Chain A
Amino acid sequence: AQSVTQPDIHITVSEGASLELRCNYSYGATPYLFWYVQSPGQGLQLLLKYFSGDTLVQGIKGFEAEFKRSQSSFNLRKPSVHWSDAAEYFCAVASYSSASKIIFGSGTRLSIRP
């Protein structure tokens, strides 16, 4: 069965510092991988997705993620965080496309220290 693990429940980083949010998945074949961000009062917004090809994926708002098959990981990174990046981040996996069932991780809450 597919599953997604986000080991960090809450992370606090200083504004301007680099960020890495961890995500590990369990899936038999090559999965479709996503990172979403959820801000209060707003719907989940897709940051980036990986289906195939280049394992380093660029997303919106300066985020990127790297698919590492050997580690079953899809960690999200940003070189310099802004106060507006404070939100809940979800890693997710699907079996063949966004039309299929998406399994979400438990989320990582990001706080930004001024």
Chain B
Amino acid sequence: GAVVSQHPSRVICKSGTSVKIECRSLDFQATTMFWYRQFPKQSLMLMATSNEGSKATYEQGVEKDKFLINHASLTLSTLTVTSAHPEDSSFYICSAFVGGETDTQYFGPGTRLTVL
């Protein structure tokens, strides 16, 4: 099946620094990727939809200047958390969409961000 990887799997940073998370589709191309955030013992909340070569579409309440998304190629999307603060600590999950008959989002394993 389709595999999506995320790097890093865990990151700890100091408050005020920026952190970049990569999401890669390993064996397929994805025109659309999604970024989710998951708080402990809670569900996934969609942050933004990323289309290759265009600006990401952010969900209501998500600060686009804080969570920068770049989808420069059909296999890579990046999420940069700028000027991170402790409240940004969370589990960030990406997914990549495969269309056609498959019509499925494939999810990465997630990245645990801890901001000190």
Contact = CB atoms under 8 A, between A and B. Distances in A.
Interface stretch (B11-19, B66-74, B82-90, B99-107): B99-107
B4 interface: yes
B56 to A, nearest CB: 13
Interface residues of B, number: 24
Contacts of A103: 46
Interface string A83-104: 0000000100000011101111
Contacts of B95: 44
Q: DSSP majority for the B interface?
A: strand
Interface residues of A, number: 20
B43 A99 contact: no
A105 B109 CA distance: 19
Interface string B5-35: 0000000000000000000000000001010
Interface of A: 36, 41-46, 49, 51, 90, 97-99, 101-107
